[in-house]
Chain A
């Protein structure tokens, strides 16, 4: 993805009145200072400050005509400055991309393969064992085998997410643990890669989508965000808003019909996949045991990973960072909710309280008699305090 194009041009329009003296020198100095100021102002500057692990920013220098095609729509141009010299007029300008957002699925259809790198630590990865982020390869539709794609090193196309501090809306792929699946590191070639990817996906899908009725769903799932086969497959994704940590409201699911995708009405709905997915709605844990579970049910809380299969909305369970999947399927959000709504202390419940009150009243005279006997001890104790 091209971010900026800086253009330094010199034309033959000479300014005869200006001699090579401090005027030209000062103006060129001013131009240099302006260049410094403008470089911090473009949207790509913030990208460049964050580069390193997930992406790098590269540059190339070329002569001749400026090629502004790669900047996307709506790019802006800044004319930094012009200095007239006796040799010609120097002009410095900058054209920069405005839209730094992650590419939409439409671009998967007819564009050359692009090295995509996703940056979002809220996203669950299908391969928890693979530690660092892997760049993903999006294959275009209709590409044949035998077409070799440019290697990673040659490609200067880098896509990043849009920049915001709140968790962005994510492209949810049903059946996965969440987020966009990541492909292996190597730039695989042609359909072989797709097959490999299918092979790697299937076991994990098999584990997670145990209740999936047919294999075609699995295929749909693994094909969906790869941009493979036809746009029809691409459409079979459900856009759902990712819920940030500690948020207690139900997830809004935007169905395909409300999105501006052609033939969205014909796309099969995969809602049942969500409901049946044991990762989303884990099977009911055996009743009893921990009071925590009991409180979870007593809350009637709408969140958490308790088996709320009779709810109308679909709960997508996401795992915050560092959450453990122990015997109790407890996650950080659930814990926090329980912490906020602790169970009532048994001694404070009314029935028990009433009973104990009556008992206390009955035993009061006896207690008084005992205390009267020990009056002297109490007095001695009080005197030691003074």
Chain B
């Protein structure tokens, strides 16, 4: 089964990074979350309700809709803050996966079925006028990104089957109290302004150390 991959690119100022990433993350997770499942007898289940709320960005002229789950918001903010605001290129990946139980001694396999990659290019601006223009431009860009996300979501391509009660943890993240998103994980890759990624630099350092 192939993993579906979508790439979004944004150019933002340092202080807009967190809001831009949260906007994308929340928009994607809005579409990839349901209410909590309440299983009944005979293999049926009911789905709880999920509310939505608007979030106005402080540094961008933009408003997005997110799921009304503070727990999910906190979890995402913790992940979004890891990306620093310095000059350079950063990349965040939001991966939806399914768990496949394996026999002992092998650990469970995580099979991604959709990956959203957001490439963030951080710029530094000198004057207030440039910042104001950037505010508006980034707002418009994020509007386009939301439209892109919605178009992809509504293609109705592969989605994991609704699981039985015993397998719900292989498909959904049931750890949150008020919402149930598909299993996801977020990873980062930060590249400094010179274009070298942190991982390659570390790798080079270790190689050099070993070579000695």
Q: A residues bordering B, Cβ < 8 Å?
A: 22, 26-27, 29-31, 33-34, 36-38, 40-42, 45-46, 49, 78-83, 165-166
Of the candidates A27, A33, A80, the one having the most CB atoms from chain B within 10 angstroms of its own CB is A33
Q: Could you tell me the distance between the alpha carbons of A82 and B150 in the complex, rounded to whole angstroms?
A: 11
B residues near A40, Cβ cutoff 8 Å? 54, 63-65, 146
Of chain A, the residue at the smallest CB distance from B143 is: A41
A residues near B64, Cβ cutoff 8 Å? 37, 40
Do A30 and B146 contact each other (CB < 8 Å), given the known contacts A36-B52, A37-B30? no
Of chain B, the residue at the smallest CB distance from A79 is: B151
CB distance from A77 to the nearest CB of B (A): 11
Cross-chain contact A38 with B31 (CB below 8 angstroms): no
Of chain B, the residue at the smallest CB distance from A35 is: B150
A residues near B34, Cβ cutoff 8 Å? 29
Instruction: For chain B, give the interface size range.
Output: 20 to 34
| Minimum-distance CB pairs A-B, first 10 | A81-B154, A41-B143, A34-B150, A40-B63, A36-B65, A41-B146, A37-B65, A33-B31, A33-B30, A37-B146
B16 CB within 8 Å of chain A: no
12 additional A-B pairs beyond A26-B159, A37-B65, A42-B143, beta carbons within 8 Å, are A30-B153, A33-B31, A34-B153, A36-B52, A36-B65, A38-B146, A38-B147, A40-B64, A40-B146, A80-B154, A81-B153, A166-B132
B38 CB within 8 Å of chain A: no
- Which B residues, 146 to 161, have Cβ-Cβ distances below 8 Å to chain A? 146-147, 149-151, 153-154, 156, 159
Q: Could you tell me the distance between the alpha carbons of A30 and B65 in the complex, rounded to whole angstroms?
A: 14
* Main SS at interface, chain A: helix
Q: Could you tell me the distance between the alpha carbons of A31 and B151 in the complex, rounded to whole angstroms?
A: 10
Cross-chain contact A34 with B132 (CB below 8 angstroms): no
A residues near B31, Cβ cutoff 8 Å? 30, 33-34, 37
CB distance from B171 to the nearest CB of A (A): 13
Cross-chain contact B27 with A37 (CB below 8 angstroms): yes
B162 CB within 8 Å of chain A: yes
Do A22 and B162 contact each other (CB < 8 Å), given the known contacts A36-B52, A37-B64, A37-B65? yes
Of the candidates A22, A40, A42, the one having the most CB atoms from chain B within 10 angstroms of its own CB is A40
Of the candidates B27, B30, B64, B150, the one having the most CB atoms from chain A within 10 angstroms of its own CB is B150
A residues near B154, Cβ cutoff 8 Å? 30-31, 34, 80-82
Do A27 and B147 contact each other (CB < 8 Å), given the known contacts A36-B65, A40-B63? no
Q: Could you tell me the distance between the alpha carbons of A30 and B182 in the complex, rounded to whole angstroms?
A: 14
Q: Could you tell me the distance between the alpha carbons of A83 and B156 in the complex, rounded to whole angstroms?
A: 9
Of chain A, the residue at the smallest CB distance from B52 is: A36
A residues near B146, Cβ cutoff 8 Å? 37-38, 40-41
CB distance from B150 to the nearest CB of A (A): 4
B residues near A26, Cβ cutoff 8 Å? 159
CB distance from A171 to the nearest CB of B (A): 23
Q: Could you tell me the distance between the alpha carbons of A33 and B150 in the complex, rounded to whole angstroms?
A: 9
Q: Could you list some 11 contacts between A and B, CB below 8 A? A: A30-B31, A33-B31, A34-B31, A36-B65, A38-B146, A40-B146, A41-B146, A42-B143, A81-B153, A81-B154, A165-B132
A residues near B27, Cβ cutoff 8 Å? 37
CB distance from B180 to the nearest CB of A (A): 13
A residues near B153, Cβ cutoff 8 Å? 30, 34, 81
- Which B residues, 15 to 50, have Cβ-Cβ distances below 8 Å to chain A? 27, 30-31, 34
B residues near A33, Cβ cutoff 8 Å? 30-31, 52, 65
B residues near A30, Cβ cutoff 8 Å? 31, 153-154, 156
CB distance from A6 to the nearest CB of B (A): 14
B residues near A27, Cβ cutoff 8 Å? 156
Do A38 and B150 contact each other (CB < 8 Å), given the known contacts A30-B31, A45-B63, A165-B132? yes
B residues near A78, Cβ cutoff 8 Å? 147, 150
B residues near A41, Cβ cutoff 8 Å? 143, 146-147
Q: Could you tell me the distance between the alpha carbons of A34 and B149 in the complex, rounded to whole angstroms?
A: 9
